[in-house]
Amino acid sequence: MTADAGTLHRPPTGSMLRREWFLAISALTSVIFLLQGPKLLALLANPFLLTLIFLWLFSVVLGSALAVVRHADHLAERLGEPYGTLILTLSITTMEVVAITAVMQHGENNPTLVRDTLFAVVMIILNGMVGLSLLFGAWRRHEQRHNLQGANAYLGVIVPLATLSMIMPNFTHPSGGPGYSTVQQSVLAFISVGLYGVFLMLQTGRHRGFFIDDTEEAMPQSRHAAHRGPLWWPIVMLLVYMSLVVFLVEQLAAPIDYFIETLRAPPALGGVIMAILVATPEAISAVRASVANHLQRSVNIFLGSVLSTIGLTVPAMLVISHLTGNPVILGLDHSSPIMLVLTLALSIITFSSGRTHLMQGAVHLVLFVAYFLLIFEA
């Protein structure tokens, strides 16, 4: 007992420090752009340098985001569900708000950026992430099980919030366009935060068991064994990497704006890039959990991510919109509302039995491909 306690409180070893090799890359990139940022961003007119700078920043931001998720996962495994997943989703939501704000404040105003990012996150997670998780998980096992009550609780909040945020604005037309008036935005923000708060009370309180599967009962011991060490270490590293993401994503906003404004790329492309940044780390974590036959962990990750994105990102961006004077359009256009309704309906069907199989993953991936094909529609 004494030996275990000493192990848990031992200072970070050399191996722990070596695992943070990407921190040097993130820090060095931050220093370079802090000192030479204006000179580097002045080179964006050159297509080759534009691509090089974009790929450089995108790779470093994505790597830093992956490190955030890695340390959030360590905390998740130490604290157990649902608190661990809550830390993960809140970390990703924070990065998402920072990324969207940075792009909104850089260059010309893009009133549809919040909507495009929100829709892209929902499509990438509920179709791409869910499809890959179910497909890879079922490839090794005929069926996988999850807690039906937990999935129903998530979807019971996701469906109305998604409808109110992205479909209902098309039917209000306060100023002749797909948007909400100031009063309607305030009501939406209040509803979103209120429902998310009630959900957190349910998730961490009297119905905590909805989000824990029986197959995970033996997991905490193996998790603690795999990530022994001081609890403060992943907390500090998570905060350090998030600070670097906040700075670097502001630099990434310049090439993204240049792509959209100067090269006349589809405006939705900016939202897709932001969504890829925030969804990829969680996608990797969810797929790994599903392959390891911990589907409940995957369900908590992808449905929790969608819920936090709608329940927290939308209110945050509406507040920032009012403070900065940049208008926000939430209503989807073209074929997007149909894709959203189809995705939500399919998700309800997929998680309605408590069991998942190969076919369900394949169908979600088909919708994911269809979403990308429709991005470049007129």
The answer to whether the peptide bond before residue 47 is cis (omega within 30 degrees of 0) is no
Mean pLDDT of 365-378: 82
**Residues ≥6 apart with Cβ < 8 Å to 362:** 131, 135
Sign of CA dihedral 180, 330, 347, 88: negative
Q: What are the pLDDT digits (tens) for 241-263?
A: 888 888 888 888 888 877 777 76
pLDDT, position 228:
58
Q: What pLDDT, on a 0 to 100 scale, did the predictor assign at position 163?
A: 94
Does the CA dihedral 272-361-291-85 come out positive or negative?
A: positive
**Residue 283 in contact with residue 126, Cβ under 8 Å?**
no
Decide: 350 and 356 in contact? Cβ < 8 Å: yes
Burial status of residue 28 (CB atoms within 10 A of its CB: 0-12, 13-18, 19 or more): exposed
Q: What is the rounded CA–CA span in Å between residue 202 and residue 195?
A: 11
Indicate whether 32 pLDDT > 90: yes
Q: Which residues contact 301 (CB under 8 A, 6 or more apart)?
A: 85, 88, 89, 282, 285, 286, 289
Q: Check: CB of residue 303 under 8 Å from CB of residue 154.
A: yes
What are the b/e assignments for 45-79, b being 16+ CB within 10 Å? Answer: eeeeebeebbebbbebbbbbbbbbbbbbbbbbbbb
How far is Cα 86 from Cα 208, in angstroms, rounded to an integer? 12
Proportion of the chain above pLDDT 90, given as a percent: 17
Confidence of residue 14 (pLDDT cuts 50, 70, 90): low
Q: Above 70 in pLDDT, residue 15?
A: no
Binned at pLDDT 50, 70 and 90, residue 26 comes out as very high
Q: In whole angstroms, what is the distance from residue 304 CA to residue 309 CA?
A: 8
| Residue 284 in tokens | 């990797």
183 vs 180: CA distance, rounded Å: 8
CATH of domain 2-374: 1.20.1420.30
The token duo for 75 is 């905390």
Query: Is the per-residue pLDDT at 84 higher than 70?
Result: no
More confident of the two residues 80 and 163: 163
pLDDT in tens, 281-324: 778 878 888 888 888 888 888 888 889 888 888 898 888 888 87
pLDDT band at 9 (very low <50, low <70, confident <90, very high): very low
What is the reported pLDDT for 17?
A: 64
Q: Which residues contact 35 (CB under 8 A, 6 or more apart)?
A: none
CA distance 56 to 50: 10
Neighbours of 127 (CB within 10 A): 25
pLDDT score of 346: 94
* Residue with the two structure tokens 């009063």: 183
Going by pLDDT thresholds of 50, 70 and 90, the confidence category of residue 223 is: very low
What radius of gyration do the chain's Cα atoms show? 21
Instruction: Say what the pLDDT of residue 344 is.
Output: 95
Confidence of residue 378 (pLDDT cuts 50, 70, 90): very low
Alpha carbon distance, N-terminus to C-terminus of the chain:
66
What average pLDDT score do residues 162-191 get? 81
Average pLDDT on 222-237 reads 65
- The reported pLDDT for the residue numbered 78 is 76
* Side-chain half-sphere CA neighbours of 129 within 13 A: 30
- The mean predicted confidence, pLDDT, of the chain is 80
Burial annotation 322-345 (CB, 10 A radius, 16+ → b, else e): eeeebebbbbbeeebbebbeebbe
Query: Does the pLDDT at position 328 exceed 90?
Result: no
- The top-scoring range by mean pLDDT among 183-192, 252-261, 272-281, 369-378 is 183-192
Q: How far is CA 305 from CA 130, 283, 344, in A?
A: 12, 10, 15
188 Ramachandran zone, left/alpha/beta (phi>0; psi -120 to 50): alpha
